[in-house]
């Protein structure tokens, strides 16, 4: 058993508990400890990527219970990739928050760290019920983070978000109950073995469970009929929180990839690809919907919140086609889009601070200070998000386009994705030109000087898109290997045979 | 027993969903609570309904499955915390917007307000 697996969960847990009791300590001490914790999580994630890169599965069985009887954490390439994605994002969002966004609530850092912990549990767990628990941990932290900063504007979107997700949790439990009642197990590896053996009248029950799970993951990922809560909630959240939330929809995408490749994948007999033929059209409609929203957005944060929905549609379309190349391309795009969108949320906050009362509304206003720096960051982010060369969004989209086989699905995906990207570009150019070029004469109250941590973290997060291009080769090799590992489900189920007692692996 | 159990779950869930779709926060909170009761009972039933059985494999022909009870306990604890949070949030909504409508303020219906005016006018 490898004890590194517990590190990405234990570090933020301990750091968060420490923060809980430090509410009245000087803020500089709290900030130092909080950032240290985030950085330690990043270090642990990088160690785990190094471990996972050899292509084997590592299991951490709590209490040394032999799976499938106990809860296990499973580390594979996908989990490690998601951990790094999250912790890099979290570190920069966290650094941004110490620029002043963490004031006003003594427990901001606690909640932030618990949010990271919930995300890490969700990525590492190998148990369906534990995935539910992970969702609840990250959700309850996100409920409070969403309300951070106070003000009446956040109450109503927060209430909608909480009520919707509570219903989502109820549906998750029903789905888990249905699947458990037939298979008698919730361990993912064991489910992958047991689901193909389901027959007769039980098939319908498990299929209903699978579809309900898709609804829950769809709600988390914000695919079309379940996405209307997102723009309001994300646009109203404090900037570092909105940046961190860029990963929240990706948890839904991750769960869909994990569950529908491993458990209801091609090897699932009668239940193979249950619900996946629904997902492809839904993903494309989500993408179109996001583009329409982005075109109609009247402030920058709403525009970027719709970009989150566009990303989800773009990610799920190749995943729904169920090919190895599609999943690999989606994972590459996942890295690029998550960091870029999070960076754009931070840029929007910089714009809002600099423009005084005009805020981030897309209207003409007097020239803002630091115009060059902010506009360059915005341009890099927008180019990457819209998918223009030479930045990483372009490579992600090219990989997705290349991954589909010729046929009607290819025609649909190519046309929707390309037209969508073009219209997204229009939305960004409109916003950018109004915000940065079409200025009017006038006087705005000079804002406080931009803090170093704020500009550095925003620049770094946006700059990651350039880094992805520079290391596109190794990253692509990694995602290809990840997809290959994912589709080789027989290797995953081997963890059931790993002896736990005194076993070393 | 099965029929009674199923009816109870069905009633709880149906009432929960109905209340959830109301426009005021109090019924919504009640709806969420009822829904979670229904779900908890449903989870409990996923281990099959049996009485006077042992929870140990091999000791009897039929055994009662202890795992769903563990799942239900977890779900109850989480549901309790979430309910507490949503209650506080609803109160906050009431205080912030001086209205307990789920959208902050009730949507303006020109037809309704006209009717009300007429009614109050008379």
* Residue A101: per-residue pLDDT: 82
Q: Which residue of A has its CA nearest to B48?
A: A181
Q: Where in chain A are the domains?
A: 276-470
Q: How many CB atoms lie within 10 A of CB A100?
A: 13
List all residues of chain A from 150 to 169 with a beta carbon under 8 Å from chain B.
152, 155-156, 158-160, 162-163, 166-167, 169
Cβ-in-10-Å burial (0-12, 13-18, 19+) of B121 comes to exposed
* Residue A67: per-residue pLDDT: 82
Task: Considering only residues B78 and A69, tell me which one the structure prediction assigns the higher pLDDT.
Answer: B78
Cross-chain residue pair B35–A156, CB shorter than 8 Å:
no
Q: How many CB atoms lie within 10 A of CB B46?
A: 21
| A25 vs A132: CA distance, rounded Å | 34
A313-357: pLDDT as tens digits: 999 999 988 888 999 999 999 999 999 999 999 999 888 888 877
CA angle A178/A183/A187 to nearest 5° reads 95
Cross-chain residue pair B67–A170, CB shorter than 8 Å:
no
* Residue A103: per-residue pLDDT: 83
A474-504: pLDDT as tens digits: 999 999 999 999 988 888 888 888 776 654 4
Residues 6+ apart with CB under 8 A from B121: none
Query: Smallest Cα–Cα separation from B88: which of A151, A134, A144, A220?
Result: A144
* Residue A505: per-residue pLDDT: 45
For the domain spanning B2-121, the CATH number is 1.10.287
Q: In the structure, what pLDDT confidence band is assigned to residue B110 with cuts at 50, 70 and 90?
A: low
* Residue A493: per-residue pLDDT: 86
* Whether A250 contacts A338, CB under 8 Å: yes
* Residue A12: per-residue pLDDT: 94
B39-69: pLDDT as tens digits: 999 998 888 887 777 777 777 777 778 888 8
Cross-chain residue pair B81–A155, CB shorter than 8 Å:
no
Quote ipTM for the complex: 0.87
* Residue B116: per-residue pLDDT: 47
* Whether A76 contacts A492, CB under 8 Å: yes
A8: contact with B, CB 8 A cutoff? no
Cβ-in-10-Å burial (0-12, 13-18, 19+) of A353 comes to buried
Integer Rg of chain A from CA: 22
Residue of A105, A125, A159, A182 to mutate, interface with B, max B Cβ within 10 Å = A159
B47: contact with A, CB 8 A cutoff? yes
* Whether A211 contacts A231, CB under 8 Å: no
- The CA–CA distances, whole Å, from A498 to A360, A448, A505 equal 55, 59, 9
Residue B120 has pLDDT above 70, yes or no: no
Q: Quote the DSSP letter at residue A451.
A: P
Cross-chain residue pair B65–A184, CB shorter than 8 Å:
yes
* Whether A172 contacts A242, CB under 8 Å: no
Low-confidence ranges of chain A (pLDDT < 70): 1, 500-505
A107: contact with B, CB 8 A cutoff? no
Cβ-in-10-Å burial (0-12, 13-18, 19+) of A500 comes to middle
Q: Where in chain B are the domains?
A: 2-121
Identify which of B68, B78, B90 has the shortest CB distance to residue A159: B90
């Amino acid at each position: 058993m490898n004890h590194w697996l517990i590190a990405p969960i234990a570090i933020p847990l301990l750091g968060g508990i420490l923060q809980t009791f430090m509410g009245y300590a000087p803020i500089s001490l709290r900030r130092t400890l909080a950032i240290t914790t985030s950085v330690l999580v990043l270090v642990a994630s990088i160690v785990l990527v190094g471990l996972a890169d050899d292509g084997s599965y590592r299991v951490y069985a709590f209490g040394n219970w032999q799976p499938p009887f106990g809860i296990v954490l499973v580390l594979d390439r996908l989990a490690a990739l998601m951990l790094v994605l999250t912790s890099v994002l979290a570190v920069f969002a966290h650094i941004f928050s110490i620029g002043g966004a963490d004031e006003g609530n003594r427990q901001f850092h606690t909640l932030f760290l618990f949010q990271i912990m919930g995300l890490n549990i969700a990525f590492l767990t190998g148990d369906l019920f534990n995935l539910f628990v992970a969702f609840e941990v990250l959700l309850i932290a996100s409920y409070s983070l969403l309300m951070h900063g106070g003000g009446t504007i956040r109450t109503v979107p927060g209430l909608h978000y909480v009520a919707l997700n509570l219903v989502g949790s109820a549906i998750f439990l029903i789905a888990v109950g249905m699947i458990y009642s037939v298979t008698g197990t919730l361990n993912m590896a064991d489910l992958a073995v047991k689901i193909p053996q389901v027959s007769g009248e039980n098939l319908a029950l498990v299929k209903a469970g699978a579809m309900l799970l898709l609804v829950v993951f769809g709600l988390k990922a914000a695919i079309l009929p379940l996405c209307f809560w997102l723009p309001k909630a994300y646009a109203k959240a404090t900037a570092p929180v909105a940046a961190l939330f860029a990963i929240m929809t990706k948890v839904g995408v991750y769960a869909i990839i994990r569950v529908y490749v491993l458990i209801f994948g091609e090897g699932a007999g009668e239940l193979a690809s249950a619900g996946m033929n629904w997902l492809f059209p839904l993903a494309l409609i989500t993408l179109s919907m996001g583009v329409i929203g982005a075109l109609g957005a009247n402030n920058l944060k709403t525009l970027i919140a719709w970009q989150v929905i566009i990303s989800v549609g773009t990610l799920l379309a190749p995943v729904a086609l169920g090919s190895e190349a599609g999943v690999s391309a989606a994972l590459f795009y996942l890295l690029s889009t998550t960091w870029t969108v999070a960076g754009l949320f931070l840029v929007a906050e910089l714009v809002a601070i600099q423009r005084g009362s005009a805020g981030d509304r897309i209207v003409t206003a007097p020239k803002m200070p630091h115009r060059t720096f902010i506009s360059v960051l915005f341009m890099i982010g927008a180019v990457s998000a819209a998918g223009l060369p030479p930045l990483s969004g372009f490579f992600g989209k090219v990989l997705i386009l290349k991954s589909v086989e010729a046929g009607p699905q290819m025609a649909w995906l190519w046309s929707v994705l390309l037209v969508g990207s073009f219209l997204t570009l229009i939305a960004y150019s409109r916003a950018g030109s109004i915000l940065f070029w079409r200025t009017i004469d006038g006087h705005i109250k000079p804002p406080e000087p931009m803090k170093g941590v704020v500009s550095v973290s925003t620049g770094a997060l946006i700059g990651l898109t350039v880094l992805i291009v520079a290391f596109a080769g190794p990253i692509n090799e990694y995602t290809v290997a990840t997809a290959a590992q994912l589709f080789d489900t027989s290797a995953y189920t081997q963890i059931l045979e790993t002896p736990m007692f005194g076993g070393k692996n | 027993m099965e029929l009674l159990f199923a009816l109870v779950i069905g009633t709880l869930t149906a009432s929960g969903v109905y209340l959830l779709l109301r426009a005021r926060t109090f019924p919504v909170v009640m709806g969420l609570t009822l829904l979670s009761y229904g779900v908890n009972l449903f989870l409990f039933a996923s281990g099959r309904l049996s009485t006077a059985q042992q929870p140990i494999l091999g000791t009897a022909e039929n055994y009662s499955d202890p795992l769903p009870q563990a799942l239900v306990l977890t779900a109850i604890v989480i549901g309790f915390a979430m309910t507490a949070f949503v209650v506080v949030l609803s109160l906050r909504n009431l205080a912030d917007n001086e209205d307990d409508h789920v959208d902050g303020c009730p949507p303006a219906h020109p037809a309704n307000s006209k009717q009300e005016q007429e009614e109050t006018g008379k």
